[in-house]
Amino acid sequence: MASDNAMAVRRDFMVRRDDLRTCRFVAAAEPQSLHPGEVLLRVDEFAFTSNNVTYAAFGEAMSYWNFFPAPEGWGRIPVWGFGTVLKSTVDGIRPGERFYGYYPMSGWVVVQPERTSEAGFFDGAAHRKPLHAVYNQYLRTATDPGYDPAREAEQMLLRPLFVTSFLIDDFLADNAFFGAQSIVLSSASSKTAYGTAFQLAQRGARGRRPEIVGLTSPSNRAFVEGLGCYDRVLAYDQVESLPRETATAYVDMSGDGAVRGAVHRHFGDHLKYSCAVGGTHWDALSGAGGLPGPRPALFFAPAQIKKRMADWGPAELQKRLAAAWKAFLGSVSSPSHGWMKVVRGKGAADIERVYLAMLDGRAQPDEGHVLSP
């Protein structure tokens, strides 16, 4: 086991790519010197949510394992968090500055900044260049308009997920909801599903938008109903109680093949669209072939970002995102309706405990886990 001297070592949390329940910590000494063009960041804190389980479940298919290389057969799950510059050889980036972005579950990381600006930088490391820029950007907290020092936990836990939620809602609306009168979301207690339902609900009353239906486990049903943005909440085994003839779109946050199959078989040709977003039920993932109705498509948030940047321009996209984020954050943390409790952990034991609980579906939906190495 690694030493507790965080300034001298890093502890990389790694999982087996072919068996996500197998995990380990590997110690490595902090570099004493850097090559020109490199910056050493200490990982201060990061969030761990079901979204990170999705990163692991789709690690091969979506190249999530490529962000932070690991020994053969092992993977380092990316997380969203904050880091502090310890050493820098790059002009414009100084020791002591803090950056929000994509980190490994480690004590530190070396990046190769390029396109450095007042806002931050992009990691230009060779192994990250083929990966989408949205994951390679690091924002300087001193200049980030979305940063609130009192809301760091909420930013880590919800901001990346909410961007995906915003884009799912926008994609559906941009396609006239594919003609659907009802949007069914699985894993309705997940933060990404909740954010999507929240955005859909902002479009007004029924009739101006489709009905919003959440599917969840019986134990989470009361929690999901209490969120107040779903028109109807059902347990997974109640899919057949939905009107079969209603034109429906399915947004699959769970990746559970049995649930997906039940939805497709129930609605058949009345299912107008089906997309896979997450893999919270990672151990029930299955193929999408041979089902009635439309073939499930993989929703890729960066593709919608690219489209909207072309449609609206970067400034307008950021303006709309910021306004939506502000409204959403108010719903999460308001004294009367706030529902999320931040739970903090530190060190290897807490990281492993939270990871396995999330992997096994034992995490509480009203908790947001913030961890530090």
For residue 62, the model assigns a pLDDT of 83
For the segment 86-112, what is each residue's pLDDT rounded down to a tens digit? Answer: 999 999 999 999 999 999 999 999 999
Q: Has residue 74 got a pLDDT over 90?
A: yes
For the segment 325-348, what is each residue's pLDDT rounded down to a tens digit? Answer: 888 887 776 555 567 789 999 999
- Calculate mean pLDDT across residues 146-167: 89
Strand residue runs (E) in 17-62: 19-29, 39-48
Q: Which amino acid is at 297?
A: A
Q: Has residue 28 got a pLDDT over 60?
A: yes
In the chain, domain spans: 9-144+341-372, 159-300
DSSP state of 297: E
Q: Are strands 98-104 and 232-235 parallel, antiparallel or unpaired?
A: unpaired
For residue 5, the model assigns a pLDDT of 44
CATH 3.40.50.720 fits 159-300, yes or no: yes
In Å, what is the CA distance from 280 to each residue of 24, 51, 197, 222, 361?
21, 7, 17, 19, 8
Domains 9-144+341-372 and 159-300 share a fold: no
For residue 1, the model assigns a pLDDT of 35
Burial 201-214 (b: 16+ CB within 10 A, else e): beeeeeeebbbbbb
**Percent of the chain topping pLDDT 90:** 61
Does 81 or 289 have the greater pLDDT score?
A: 81
For the segment 184-231, what is each residue's pLDDT rounded down to a tens digit? Answer: 999 998 888 999 999 999 998 777 899 999 999 999 999 899 888 999
Task: Output 203-210 pairs: Cβ under 8 A, ≥24 positions apart.
Answer: 203/169, 203/173, 206/231, 209/177, 210/177, 210/180, 210/181, 210/182, 210/183, 210/249
For residue 287, the model assigns a pLDDT of 59
Q: Has residue 9 got a pLDDT over 80?
A: no
Q: Which CATH class is domain 9-144+341-372?
A: alpha beta
Q: Has residue 3 got a pLDDT over 60?
A: no
The answer to whether the beta carbons of residues 156 and 45 sit under 8 Å apart is: yes
Tell me how far the alpha carbon of residue 18 is from its chain's centroid: 21
Tell me how far the alpha carbon of residue 308 is from its chain's centroid: 20
For the segment 293-313, what is each residue's pLDDT rounded down to a tens digit? Answer: 999 888 888 889 989 989 998
- Measure the CA dihedral 347/348/349/355, to 10°: 110
CA distance 256 to 356: 18
Q: What's the chain's average pLDDT?
A: 89
The answer to whether the beta carbons of residues 365 and 220 sit under 8 Å apart is: yes
- Calculate mean pLDDT across residues 106-133: 92
CA distance 272 to 251: 11
Among 60-64, 102-106, 347-351, name the one with the lowest average pLDDT: 60-64
Q: Has residue 284 got a pLDDT over 60?
A: no
Q: Full-prediction pTM beyond 0.75? A: yes
